[in-house]
């Protein structure tokens, strides 16, 4: 029950602090605010890649590139938000600004244009930057220094994070598959969650009473103990204080001496050399036209990330140059472990990208009944959603119709067949497994570390991080077996005399897109798993071949004259979009086998009059509508053959248990690695550089998420088996190296 406790006069707080179950009421305000914010973040994250692939019809590579920058910048902007809060705004104003920006961003995601999609991401990125660092800070400021309740307070707070992360994929994922608004309903639900969080904070912030005093590390958050040193290993001796560390000689004198110089060389090398690895880029300076000479090994967005890494290296060099002896050793230990943490998050964040797509297209998600064959034609968009796109609905009408059930629900799920029997699990639901597992396993690990500590067997921080990498590798290794089970062949004869001219066959009999400008073609279709044997005149596909992959090939085979007419129609809708749209083009040459059912349009979008050979558009044609029309004009023989492969290969979707156990192992790895990171930095960082080093540690999440997206971009270029195999090998090598370095790292921690 609620009670009141006196706040010590030295704290400068006013009056008494109301408590509930022994904790300030402000803690519960922060709990629910953070829960709803995490609800909004993970709800949107669970839909993001699927939305780009299914709604905008982007390739998986393009979707991964956007996912890469979004999830990376979400962990970079808190540096700016924390700085502005400390210098100008204060925690409370920063939280409110961040919540407002994120709410706007989530509701903008309910729009249907690419412009507002990108604008929404910008709002979300900067909103998170203001919100994220200032919530955790306020939890600590509710308590006096060294208050024994602080450990329990953070436990309660992080349970709020995981509760939001558990609920949001369930709610937003279900709305995306069962309502008229589809993905936009899921995004709107995330926005509503953020608004609830904002209102919770505004109504309850008067109970968030910060205690202003010179703080030291609370018990359990870095205070030296007789049985545990700062590296987390039981030693029977206390850890060095910062003053003692300044006088203690380095355990690795040579490395200690050269570290600042090495970091300067690394930073300058990255800054100068990374642009040279980019593609050749034409430049225009006034009337002078130049070409930037690049090797073309990496893209420009990867160059930007390397330049950020160069800056971090130079900042790290400056910090290490300002300290010496054992203090420099400790900072070096933070840097070394940060590299391995990046590797962990690079694999972990495939949950919202590659594993989300695997759940969507390669997992049998139909419960209680066998999955029927998939539909060949896309489900037409509900007319209410079309009216929203064309501005025929008010904002209130849009919000109310968005959440109406679809008459066909449960309808054709994204990448899965429509079924009247059984229940189809929404793909984002799998992302709730991690949060649920944390609820169950976190107390087990807390007990385990305490039990081991009492027996002086508690692993060091470096060892725990190595175990985290091992379990992450095992998590990905599970998916190797799943990919091998999915990688089975389906074959059918080609339903025409020859392949279209825009589809080539390489020496390995893999199909690829070829053009006059690029006769060698692009990377093979379907990760190189779609083959044509000229001797038998048969197409063979390995693994699950989806309608989206069929559509990509069909678009590539549309006649050039038809492509030109569709672009002409798009330009007409662009010119007329300020008013009611009703524009037409006449096709002089109708593509053979032209079939509007493949476009998925309803009568309020685009219609085809066969008598007059006229296409009429009543809505603005964005790139996604153009892509849909091109499928209707694709080569009919190849398209029909691919239809057969879509149906036949669908039986190779694998059990959802593969993903379940992968996420369980991933969670075990997270519980070994994640909780000790921030605690380690707070323990080892010298006081005058504590904030900068904490910021650099958070930047490891930026690089981890960036690497996750960059790795995900390669998913369509290799087979799933090889993708998961290479990722497993990389994680295994990283864990072996870390275990090899454990003793050196422990020595550096003093």
* Buried/exposed code over 541-557 (b: 16+ C-beta within 10 A; e: otherwise): bbbbbbbbbbbbbbbbb
CATH topology of domain 12-221: Growth Hormone; Chain: A; (1.20.1250)
| Long-range Cβ contact pairs of 512-518 (< 8 A, separation 24 or more) | 513/553, 513/556
| Long-range Cβ contact pairs of 525-533 (< 8 A, separation 24 or more) | 525/549, 525/552, 525/553, 527/715, 527/716, 527/717, 527/718, 527/719, 527/720, 528/718, 528/719, 529/487, 529/719, 532/494, 532/499, 532/505, 533/509
Alpha carbons 501 and 514: distance in angstroms, whole number: 8
Given this model, what pLDDT does residue 154 score?
77
pTM exceeds 0.75, yes or no: yes
Given this model, what pLDDT does residue 156 score?
82
Supply the DSSP symbol for 228. Answer: B
The structure tokens listed for 540 are 């063979």
Kindly report the three-state secondary structure assignment for every residue of 612-680.
CCEEEECCCCCHHHHHHHHHHCCCHHHHHHHHHHHHHHHHHCECCHHHHHHHHHHHHHHHHHHHHHHHH
Q: Give the E-state strand segments of 447-554 in sequence order.
A: 489-493, 503-505, 511-513, 530-533, 538-542
**Phi-psi map region of 678: left, alpha, beta (phi>0 left; psi -120 to 50 alpha):** alpha
Given this model, what pLDDT does residue 222 score?
35
Say how many C-beta atoms besides its own lie within 10 A of residue 420's C-beta.
Answer: 8
Please say whether the beta carbons of 256 and 265 come within 8 A. Answer: no
Phi then psi for residue 411, to 5 deg, are: -95, -170
Among the listed residues 523, 489, 497, the one whose alpha carbon sits nearest the alpha carbon of residue 636: 497
The structure tokens listed for 65 are 């590139």
Please say whether the beta carbons of 89 and 80 come within 8 A. Answer: no
* Structure-token match 């369509």, residue found: 716
Given this model, what pLDDT does residue 2 score?
44
- Helix, strand or coil, per DSSP, at residue 540: strand
Would you list the domain boundaries of the chain?
12-221, 252-322
Q: Longest Cα pair distance anywhere in the chain, in angstroms?
A: 91
The structure tokens listed for 270 are 């990255």
Profile the chain (750 residues) by mean pLDDT over runs of 10 residues: 42 56 84 92 95 94 95 90 84 90 92 90 94 80 74 79 93 92 92 94 85 45 37 52 81 90 94 84 62 72 91 92 91 94 96 96 89 86 56 63 68 47 88 94 88 89 95 98 97 91 92 81 90 95 96 95 95 86 92 93 89 92 94 95 96 96 96 84 82 84 94 93 97 97 92
Please say whether the beta carbons of 638 and 553 come within 8 A. Answer: yes
Given this model, what pLDDT does residue 380 score?
79
472, burial (CB in 10 Å: exposed 0-12, middle 13-18, buried 19+): buried
Alpha carbons 650 and 550: distance in angstroms, whole number: 13
In the β-sheet with 614-617, what is the strand arrangement from edge to edge? 583-586, 614-617, 606-609
- Would you call the peptide bond into 7 cis, given omega within 30 degrees of 0 as the criterion? no
Given this model, what pLDDT does residue 370 score?
84
Alpha carbons 126 and 123: distance in angstroms, whole number: 5
Phi then psi for residue 139, to 5 deg, are: -60, -50
Alpha carbons 584 and 363: distance in angstroms, whole number: 41
Alpha carbons 159 and 226: distance in angstroms, whole number: 30
Supply the DSSP symbol for 409. Answer: -
Strand pairing partners for 699? none
Given this model, what pLDDT does residue 240 score?
79
Please say whether the beta carbons of 320 and 714 come within 8 A. Answer: no
Given this model, what pLDDT does residue 383 score?
60
Residues across the chain: 750
Q: Where are the alpha helices (DSSP H) in 506-559?
A: 547-556
| Dihedral of alpha carbons 534, 540, 541, 545, sign | positive
């Amino acid at each position: 029950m609620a009670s009141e406790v006196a706040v010590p006069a030295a704290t400068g707080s006013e009056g008494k602090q109301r408590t509930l179950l022994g904790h300030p009421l402000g803690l519960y305000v922060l709990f629910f605010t953070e829960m709803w914010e995490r609800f909004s973040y993970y709800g949107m994250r669970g839909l993001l890649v699927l939305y780009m692939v299914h709604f905008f019809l982007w390739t998986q590579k393009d979707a991964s590139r956007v996912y890469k920058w979004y999830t990376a910048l979400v962990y970079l902007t808190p540096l700016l938000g924390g700085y502005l809060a400390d210098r100008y705004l204060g925690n409370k104003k920063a939280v409110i600004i961040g919540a407002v920006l994120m709410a706007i961003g989530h509701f903008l995601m309910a729009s249907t244009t690419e412009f507002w999609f990108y604008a929404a991401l910008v709002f979300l990125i900067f909103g998170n930057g203001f919100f994220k660092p200032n919530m955790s800070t306020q939890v600590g400021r509710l308590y006096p220094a060294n208050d024994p309740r602080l450990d329990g307070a953070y436990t309660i707070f992080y349970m709020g994070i995981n509760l939001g992360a558990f609920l949001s994929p369930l709610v937003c994922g279900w709305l995306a598959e069962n309502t008229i608004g589809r993905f936009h309903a899921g995004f709107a639900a995330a926005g509503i969650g953020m608004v609830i969080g904002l209102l919770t904070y505004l109504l309850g912030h008067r109970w968030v009473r910060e205690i202003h005093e010179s703080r030291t590390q609370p018990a359990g958050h870095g205070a030296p103990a007789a049985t545990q040193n700062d590296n987390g290993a039981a030693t029977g001796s206390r850890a060095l204080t910062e003053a003692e560390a300044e006088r203690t000689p380095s355990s690795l004198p040579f490395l200690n001496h050269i570290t600042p110089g090495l970091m300067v060389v690394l930073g300058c090398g990255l800054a100068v050399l990374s642009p040279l690895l980019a593609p050749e880029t034409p430049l225009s300076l006034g009337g002078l036209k130049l070409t930037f000479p690049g090797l073309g090994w990496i893209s420009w967005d990867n160059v930007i990330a390397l330049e950020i890494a160069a800056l971090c290296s130079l900042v790290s060099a400056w910090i290490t140059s300002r300290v010496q002896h054992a203090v420099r050793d400790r900072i070096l230990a933070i840097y070394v472990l940060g590299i391995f943490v990046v590797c962990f998050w690079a694999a972990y964040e495939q949950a919202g990208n590659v594993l989300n797509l695997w759940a969507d297209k390669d997992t049998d998600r139909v419960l209680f009944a066998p999955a029927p064959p998939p539909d060949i034609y896309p489900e037409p968009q509900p007319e209410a959603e079309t009216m929203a796109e064309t501005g025929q609905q008010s904002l209130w009408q849009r919000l109310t119709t968005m959440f109406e059930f679809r008459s066909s629900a449960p309808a054709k799920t994204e990448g899965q067949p429509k079924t009247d029997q059984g229940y189809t699990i929404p793909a984002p639901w799998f992302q709730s497994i991690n949060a649920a597992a944390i609820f169950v396993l976190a107390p087990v690990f807390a007990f385990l570390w305490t039990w081991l500590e009492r027996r002086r067997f508690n692993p060091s921080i470096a060892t725990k991080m190595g175990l985290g990498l091992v379990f992450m590798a095992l998590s990905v290794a599970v998916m190797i077996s799943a990919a091998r089970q999915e990688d089975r062949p389906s074959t059918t004869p080609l339903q025409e005399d020859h392949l279209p001219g825009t589809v080539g066959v390489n020496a390995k009999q893999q199909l690829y897109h070829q053009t006059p400008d690029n006769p060698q073609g692009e990377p093979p279709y379907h990760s190189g798993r779609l083959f044509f044997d000229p001797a038998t005149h048969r197409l063979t596909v390995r693994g699950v071949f989806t309608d989206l992959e069929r559509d990509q090939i069909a678009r590539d085979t549309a006649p050039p004259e038809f492509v030109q007419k569709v672009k002409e129609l798009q330009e007409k809708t662009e010119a007329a979009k300020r008013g009611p749209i009703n524009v037409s083009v006449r096709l002089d040459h109708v593509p053979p086998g032209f079939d509007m059912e493949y476009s998925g349009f309803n009568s309020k979008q685009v219609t085809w009059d066969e008598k007059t050979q006229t296409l009429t558009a009543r809505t603005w044609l964005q790139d996604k509508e153009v892509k849909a029309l091109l499928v209707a004009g694709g080569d009919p023989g190849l398209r029909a053959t691919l239809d057969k492969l879509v149906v036949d290969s669908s039986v190779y979707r694998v059990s959802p248990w593969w993903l379940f156990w992968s996420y369980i192992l991933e969670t075990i790895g997270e519980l070994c690695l994640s909780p000790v990171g921030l605690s380690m930095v707070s323990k080892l960082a010298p006081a005058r550089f504590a904030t900068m080093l904490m910021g650099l540690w958070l930047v490891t999440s930026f690089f981890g998420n960036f690497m996750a997206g960059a790795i995900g971009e390669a998913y369509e270029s290799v087979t799933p088996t090889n993708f998961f195999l290479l990722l497993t090998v990389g994680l295994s090598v990283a864990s072996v190296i870390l275990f090899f370095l454990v003793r050196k790292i422990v020595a550096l921690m003093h």
